[in-house]
Amino acid sequence: MRKMLAAVSRVLSGASQKPASRVLVASRNFANDATFEIKKCDLHRLEEGPPVTTVLTREDGLKYYRMMQTVRRMELKADQLYKQKIIRGFCHLCDGQEACCVGLEAGINPTDHLITAYRAHGFTFTRGLSVREILAELTELVCSAHVYVLPFPGRKGGCAKGKGGSMHMYAKNFYGGNGIVGAQVPLGAGIALACKYNGKDEVCLTLYGDGAANQGQIFEAYNMAALWKLPCIFICENNRYGMGTSVERAAASTDYYKRGDFIPGLRVDGMDILCVREATRFAAAYCRSGKGPILMELQTYRYHGHSMSDPGVSYRTREEIQEVRSKSDPIMLLKDRMVNSNLASVEELKEIDVEVRKEIEDAAQFATADPEPPLEELGYHIYSSDPPFEVRGANQWIKFKSVS
């Protein structure tokens, strides 16, 4: 099965190779940038909100398009690999929510911090890991280099060395990937505390879903963040369903942007990447000015079910999913904007689609071909900075060496 997959992808990638000179030929007169109107955000305890117009440069537009398309295709590939049983366990996909991860990243600096829950593949990518590293981790494979200490060496594997899987991927200034619903929110407030403690003008984006929004520890985090004026942007990624429970059935108040009470909030169109970007810039500026935390609710949608074991149609209709796809798809919205204002051509964007597909295929091939972690490493990384010691296996005679 794996060999067939590899062979098929080789054929497909061969068919789409293009000579480098084609890029020069295609450069007709595009606009350098264009101004777009974006939806006004609903505000809570704020006099003013983000601007209602924004300028998008051609360069940024192409970058965002490529990033969103990469996340989209990576998630669809993960779906495929899961159905082939090459990915195991939990797999929570974020296709449909690309404007959130790409838009948030566009509004902050790489030196800022981000933490989220388990629907994390998109953020893992936007925070700097390659598709190859992500898919290798999902397919349990090995990496012998620390991702952000050494440069990516070329043919090595998953960022957490196959120890974490889908829910536990980490990168520089990206703290996962967290499996316990809501636990990441106090963690994020703690990272924000460190930002303030170090005095470096950095902020922490702390994400959670509409389901997690009802966790008590989130309100504890709100209280302390506001009390201590931590530079924490609380972000509720509201995709309308917490697993199989719609927001109306879970929350007495579905105005998630107001749930921070004494914390100012804004409700953002999470399907429009420019809206997300402007709101993030606004929120980050607010935090950096020392005013304390702020809350953003991103209204978004996931096409897949909660996880790969959920078809996603028992608690919502196919018509609803189809309607979002046809009217609010984030990639389509950006594409239409760019084409209609002459920032890019349809062909150019199609080219990007093809390149992205190839990149994903290559990554999947690599991920499926790369070896599993060696059994000897089962006991590694129990403790940091310690001399090696022995870890007990399934019985007293089985011992594994533990190296830090």
Partner 1 sequence: MAAVSGLVRRPLREVSGLLKRRFHWTAPAALQVTVRDAINQGMDEELERDEKVFLLGEEVAQYDGAYKVSRGLWKKYGDKRIIDTPISEMGFAGIAVGAAMAGLRPICEFMTFNFSMQAIDQVINSAAKTYYMSGGLQPVPIVFRGPNGASAGVAAQHSQCFAAWYGHCPGLKVVSPWNSEDAKGLIKSAIRDNNPVVVLENELMYGVPFEFPPEAQSKDFLIPIGKAKIERQGTHITVVSHSRPVGHCLEAAAVLSKEGVECEVINMRTIRPMDMETIEASVMKTNHLVTVEGGWPQFGVGAEICARIMEGPAFNFLDAPAVRVTGADVPMPYAKILEDNSIPQVKDIIFAIKKTLNI
**What is the closest distance, in whole angstroms, from the C-beta atom of residue 164 to partner 1 in the complex?**
4
Closest CA to 327 of 272, 268, 276, 247: 272
Distance, CA of 123 to CA of 132 (rounded, Å): 14
Question: Looking at 80-88, 92-100, 215-223, 233-241, which segment touches partner 1 (CB under 8 A)?
Answer: 215-223
Closest CA to 286 of 253, 261, 311, 263: 263
Among 170, 257, 282, 366, binds partner 1 (CB under 8 A): 170
Q: Is residue 161 part of the contact set for partner 1 (CB under 8 A)?
A: yes
Q: Phi and psi of 286, rounded to 5°?
A: -60, -50
Which two tokens mark 12?
A: 């497909």
Distance, CA of 48 to CA of 229 (rounded, Å): 20
Three-state DSSP state, 206: strand
Distances, alpha carbon 250 to alpha carbons 54, 129, 244, in Å: 35, 34, 10
Q: Is residue 366 part of the contact set for partner 1 (CB under 8 A)?
A: no
Distance, CA of 73 to CA of 90 (rounded, Å): 19
Which CB sits closer to partner 1, 294 or 331?
Answer: 294
Among 115, 268, 343, 344, binds partner 1 (CB under 8 A): 115
Which CB sits closer to partner 1, 19 or 387?
Answer: 387
Q: Is residue 168 part of the contact set for partner 1 (CB under 8 A)?
A: yes
Among 107, 162, 209, 330, binds partner 1 (CB under 8 A): 162
Q: Is residue 227 part of the contact set for partner 1 (CB under 8 A)?
A: yes
Which CB sits closer to partner 1, 164 or 330?
Answer: 164
Q: Is residue 91 part of the contact set for partner 1 (CB under 8 A)?
A: no
Distance, CA of 55 to CA of 33 (rounded, Å): 7
Question: Looking at 217-225, 241-249, 260-268, 357-365, which segment touches partner 1 (CB under 8 A)?
Answer: 217-225
Distance, CA of 294 to CA of 282 (rounded, Å): 10
Ordered DSSP codes for 72-116: HHHHHHHHHHHHTTSS-S-----TT-HHHHHHHHHHS-TTSEEE-
Of residues 367 through 396, those in contact with partner 1 by CB under 8 A are 380-386, 389, 391, 396
Question: Mask of contacts with partner 1, 175-214, x by CB under 8 A?
Answer: xx-xxx--x-xxxxxxxxxxx-xx-----x----------
Question: Mask of contacts with partner 1, 274-293, x by CB under 8 A?
Answer: --------------------
Distance, CA of 159 to CA of 175 (rounded, Å): 13
Of residues 140 through 159, those in contact with partner 1 by CB under 8 A are 143, 146-148, 158-159
**What is the closest distance, in whole angstroms, from the C-beta atom of residue 337 to partner 1 in the complex?**
37
Q: Is residue 118 part of the contact set for partner 1 (CB under 8 A)?
A: no
**What is the closest distance, in whole angstroms, from the C-beta atom of residue 280 to partner 1 in the complex?**
20
Helices 58-83/131-138 angle, 10° precision: 20
Three-state DSSP state, 243: coil
Distance, CA of 278 to CA of 168 (rounded, Å): 29
Of residues 239 through 268, those in contact with partner 1 by CB under 8 A are none
Which CB sits closer to partner 1, 83 or 172?
Answer: 172
For 348, other C-beta atoms within 10 Å of its C-beta total 20
Which CB sits closer to partner 1, 194 or 339?
Answer: 194
Which CB sits closer to partner 1, 159 or 268?
Answer: 159
- Spatial CB neighbours of 379, under 8 Å, sequence gap ≥ 6: 390, 391, 400, 401, 402, 403
Q: How many residues bind partner 1 (CB under 8 A)?
A: 54
Q: Is residue 295 part of the contact set for partner 1 (CB under 8 A)?
A: no
Which CB sits closer to partner 1, 198 or 317?
Answer: 198
- Spatial CB neighbours of 202, under 8 Å, sequence gap ≥ 6: 109, 111, 112, 113, 195, 231
**What is the closest distance, in whole angstroms, from the C-beta atom of residue 299 to partner 1 in the complex?**
26
Closest CA to 113 of 179, 197, 201, 180: 201
Residues engaged in binding partner 1 (CB under 8 A): 113, 115, 143, 146-148, 158-164, 168, 170, 175-176, 178-180, 183, 185-195, 197-198, 204, 216-217, 220-221, 223-224, 227-228, 380-386, 389, 391, 396, 404
